[in-house]
Every structure is written in C-alpha cells, then in structure tokens.
C-alpha cells in the first residue's frame, strides 16, 4: 500500500489530484482506498487535533473519529470546494473544538454540582415566612383596588387572560380594560413600594 504523499509533508498538486481520486474510491466503499487515505491524512489530522485538545489520549480518540467521519462522509466531498486535505483539516478542527467545548461543559457541570452540594443550606422556615408575608402584602394591595380594577387584574394575572380576553369576559371595551389594568397596576406598584 503506497501513501499519496510522505508523512509530515504537504501534498504536491499532483498528490492532491491523487487524493481526490482516492476520496472518490472511498465514497464507493473501497476499503483499500480508505487505507491509503488514512495513511496519507492521519498524521495531519492528529497534528491539528492535538494542538487544540492538548491531551494525547483524547486527541487519538478524536483523530480516529475524524477518520471515521471521512469514511462515512466521503460521498459529500466536492473537489471544486477545496482539496481533500483542507476538507479533512476542517473536519478535524471542528471535531477538536467540539471535544474541548464538551469537556469544558462537563467540567463546568461538575463544578456547579459540587458547589450546590457544598452550599450552605438556607433557613427554609425564614423563606416560608418571607413568602407568606409577601403573599399577604399582595392580597392586601389587591383588596385596595376598585372592584373593576381587581376583576381585570385578577383575570389577567391569575387566570392568564390577554387584554382582549379580559375585555370579552367582562363585556367591556378593550381601551377601558387597558385603562383599568394600567391604573390598577400603578396602584399595586405604589402599595407594594416598588420603585421603577
């Protein structure tokens, strides 16, 4: 089995043509052609991957995945779009970056999980009391609205209706509903002590 170009060197123009021919044969399932392609591109692919991933064992794994991709995607290769080496280099770089991102995401998840496990437990009783106080304040403020405002606000915020649906439910013109809602929300904001 001959290599299309010596390991560690860039392919010459005639070798590029040879690699394109090899790639066409690989696309048709020629295992021997893939062996030639593998011998010609594996060092390039590994070199790109190891520069990005930096871990030799992972780089070997990623380079192997790239070579499998080249076998599976050989039919997608288009010589007019670029050389086989450029195509392989692009796939190798993308795979390597994906591996680094995946490893970083896994590390971030592990750190976040560790932080959650070691976080100081908060006082649930204090939180429940605070929630009840806030709920009571909301109820008190809603009771301070006019009946018409309370109906509109309740339908919109507690039942999830749109302005138009509130208007239809209350059989009131839409502009009137919008005015009631605006006035009611202003009163609630002032009652709750919310500043904008």
Question: Distance between CA 162 and CA 116 in Å, rounded?
Answer: 38
Question: Distance between CA 26 and CA 125 in Å, rounded?
Answer: 68
> What is the average per-residue pLDDT within 45-67?
95
| Predicted confidence (pLDDT) at residue 90 exceeds the cutoff of 90 | yes
Q: Give the model's pLDDT for residue 121.
A: 52
Question: Distance between CA 15 and CA 111 in Å, rounded?
Answer: 48
pTM (two decimals): 0.51
pLDDT digits over 99-134, tens only? Answer: 999 989 988 898 888 777 665 555 566 677 677 777
Q: Give the model's pLDDT for residue 6.
A: 37
> What is the average per-residue pLDDT within 164-170?
91
């Amino acid at each position: 089995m001959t290599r299309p170009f010596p390991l560690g060197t860039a392919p010459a123009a005639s070798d590029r043509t040879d690699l394109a021919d090899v790639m066409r044969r690989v696309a048709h399932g020629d295992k021997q052609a893939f062996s030639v392609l593998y011998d010609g591109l594996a060092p390039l692919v590994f070199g790109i991957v190891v520069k990005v991933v930096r871990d030799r064992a992972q780089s070997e794994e990623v380079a192997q995945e790239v070579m499998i991709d080249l076998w599976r995607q050989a039919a997608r290769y288009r010589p007019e779009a670029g050389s086989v080496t450029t195509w392989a280099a692009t796939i190798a770089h993308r795979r390597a970056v994906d591996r680094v991102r995946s490893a970083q995401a896994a590390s971030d998840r592990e750190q976040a999980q560790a932080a959650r496990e070691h976080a100081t437990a908060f006082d649930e009783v204090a939180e429940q009391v605070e929630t009840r106080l806030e709920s009571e304040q909301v109820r008190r403020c809603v009771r301070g609205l006019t009946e018409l405002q309370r109906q509109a606000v309740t339908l919109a915020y507690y039942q999830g209706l749109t302005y138009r649906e509130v208007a239809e439910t209350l059989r009131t013109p839409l502009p009137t509903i919008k005015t009631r809602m605006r006035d009611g929300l202003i009163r609630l904001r002032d009652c709750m002590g919310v500043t904008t």
